[in-house]
């Protein structure tokens, strides 16, 4: 853990920065190729001397991975270290640097398990630190600016990218390479931040952080939940294989309003009878999957993901399965979080 080298006035708020890797810490390896998770947390802070005007920053390297390698073990370590920092009265909030590929899943997991009302802001970048016009430094500056803003507390876990502030529950990565990759298609942005100037919009949606019944990640491994991507001509093969492999939950990234082909539906009903929780989400990336529209969820014992995309639905289902197997109780979680 290191205090930032710049002489930040003692009157400034204290931000703990936890680094996990990602492109924000990436460096080119030759031509257009680059390696994520190359720079350290200290290097990221040192590259933005203007941070000294916003906060006193301590840093901690929790992991050094590209976020396609993010997993439950790192989630738990990150949650524990973030919680420990936030439990220090002198710490105003936390900023977490992270790859963009799975940032939305980590953010939502933390949104459900952190016992805090303090600001927690995740930040990444679409260009490596060695790129022309790298976006990481400004994203990091804006993330710290959002975290130290007096009105940031109580908004749940947030993500800052490309001058936007997203709620962890709402955000999704929608483009492979563009700076404007992140969208919040259903309920919109938490706010905007431009060169450190923050504009907040509405309050955080649904229950989160200190208001979550999952605050404090449950002990033991999370139950395995797989996502099955639906498509024209979908059969039952992958559903049956996931059940055989021991999945305790399935999230169907269904076509349209969470739909799936008849043979896949039959496999889903059999999975429910075998004790596997089946959630219908949508591959469309927006909107609400509701119960009993084209699919008779009540008869099948399925759960509708409501507003959550497949990767967010998986996070909530894993946590929910640590509490209950009852489809009705699980369904209630998707109208609560």
23 binds ligand DGL (CB under 6 A): yes
Give the nearest residue (CB) to ligand DGL.
Answer: 99
107 binds ligand DGL (CB under 6 A): no
139 binds ligand DGL (CB under 6 A): no
Distance set, CA 52 to CA 8, 32, 94, 227 (Å): 5, 32, 16, 43
Backbone angles phi, psi at 205, to 5 degrees: -80, 145
> What is the per-residue DSSP string for 38-82?
-S-HHHHHHT-GGGGGT-EEEEEEEEEE-GGG--HHHHHHHHHHH
104 binds ligand DGL (CB under 6 A): no
**Straight-line distance from the first to the last Cα atom of the chain, in angstroms, rounded to the nearest whole number:** 34
Q: Residue written as tokens 């350290």?
A: 40
248 binds ligand DGL (CB under 6 A): no
Q: In the β-sheet with 2-3, what is the strand arrangement from edge to edge?
A: 2-3, 56-65, 14-21, 91-97, 120-123, 157-161, 164-167, 191-194, 197-200
Alpha-carbon gap, residue 115 to 287, rounded angstroms: 29
228 binds ligand DGL (CB under 6 A): no
Q: Residue 209 catalytic?
A: no
Beta carbon nearer to ligand DGL, 124 or 320? 124
209 binds ligand DGL (CB under 6 A): no
> Minimum distance from CB of 65 to ligand DGL (Å)?
7
Q: Write the binding mask 57 to 76 for ligand DGL: x where contact by CB under 6 A, - elsewhere.
A: ---------xxx--------
205 binds ligand DGL (CB under 6 A): no
Beta carbon nearer to ligand DGL, 65 or 318? 65
20 binds ligand DGL (CB under 6 A): no
99 binds ligand DGL (CB under 6 A): yes
120 binds ligand DGL (CB under 6 A): no
125 binds ligand DGL (CB under 6 A): yes
Beta carbon nearer to ligand DGL, 52 or 172? 172
- Contact (Cβ atoms closer than 8 angstroms) between residue 17 and residue 97: yes
Give the contacts of 206 (CB within 8 A, at least 6 positions apart). Answer: 169, 336, 337
Alpha-carbon gap, residue 249 to 31, rounded angstroms: 43
Q: Which of 23, 38, 82, 209 is catalytic?
A: 23
- Which of 13, 93, 119, 124 lies at the binding interface for ligand DGL (CB under 6 A)? 124
- Which of 100, 106, 248, 259 lies at the binding interface for ligand DGL (CB under 6 A)? 100
> Minimum distance from CB of 132 to ligand DGL (Å)?
16
Q: Residue written as tokens 């005007």?
A: 53
- Which of 13, 16, 17, 22 lies at the binding interface for ligand DGL (CB under 6 A)? 22
> Minimum distance from CB of 145 to ligand DGL (Å)?
20
> Minimum distance from CB of 255 to ligand DGL (Å)?
27
Instruction: Catalogue the long-range contacts made by 229-233 (C-beta closer than 8 Å, 24 or more residues apart).
Output: 229/253, 229/283, 229/310, 230/254, 230/255, 230/259, 230/260, 230/261, 230/264, 230/283, 231/255, 232/261, 233/261
126 binds ligand DGL (CB under 6 A): yes
The residues annotated with a catalytic role in the active site are: 23
Q: Which residues bind ligand DGL (CB under 6 A)?
A: 22-23, 36, 66-68, 99-101, 124-126
């Amino acid at each position: 853990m290191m205090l930032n080298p710049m002489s930040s006035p003692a009157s400034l708020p204290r931000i703990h920065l936890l680094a996990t890797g990602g492109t924000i810490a990436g460096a080119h390896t030759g031509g257009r190729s680059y390696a994520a998770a190359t720079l350290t947390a200290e290097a990221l802070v040192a590259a933005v001397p203007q941070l000294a005007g916003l906060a006193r920053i301590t840093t901690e390297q929790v992991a050094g991975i590209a976020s396609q390698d993010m997993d439950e073990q790192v989630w738990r370590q990150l949650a524990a270290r973030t919680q420990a920092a936030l439990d220090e009265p002198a710490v105003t909030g936390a900023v977490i640097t992270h790859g963009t590929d799975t940032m939305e899943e980590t953010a939502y997991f933390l949104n459900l398990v952190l016992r805090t009302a303090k600001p927690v802001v995740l930040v990444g970048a679409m260009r490596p630190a060695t790129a022309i016009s790298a976006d990481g430094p400004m994203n990091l500056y804006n993330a710290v600016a959002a975290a130290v803003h007096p009105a940031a507390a109580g908004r749940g876990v947030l993500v800052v990218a490309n001058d936007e502030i997203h709620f962890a529950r709402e955000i999704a990565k929608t483009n492979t390479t563009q700076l404007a990759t992140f969208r919040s298609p259903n309920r919109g942005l938490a706010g905007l931040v431009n060169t450190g100037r923050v504009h907040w919009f509405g309050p955080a949606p649904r229950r989160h952080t200190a208001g979550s019944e999952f605050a404090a990640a449950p002990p033991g491994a999370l139950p395995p939940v797989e996502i099955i991507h639906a498509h024209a001509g979908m059969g039952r093969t992958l559903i049956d294989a996931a059940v055989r492999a021991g999945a305790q939950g399935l999230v169907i990234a269904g076509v349209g309003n969470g739909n799936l082909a008849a043979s896949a539906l039959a496999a889903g009903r059999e999975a429910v009878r075998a004790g596997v929780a089946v959630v219908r989400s949508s591959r469309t990336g927006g909107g609400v999957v509701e119960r009993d529209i084209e699919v008779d969820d009540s008869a099948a014992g399925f759960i509708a993901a409501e507003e959550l995309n497949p990767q967010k639905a998986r996070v909530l289902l894993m946590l929910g399965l640590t509490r209950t197997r009852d489809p009705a109780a699980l369904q209630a979680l998707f109208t609560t979080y």
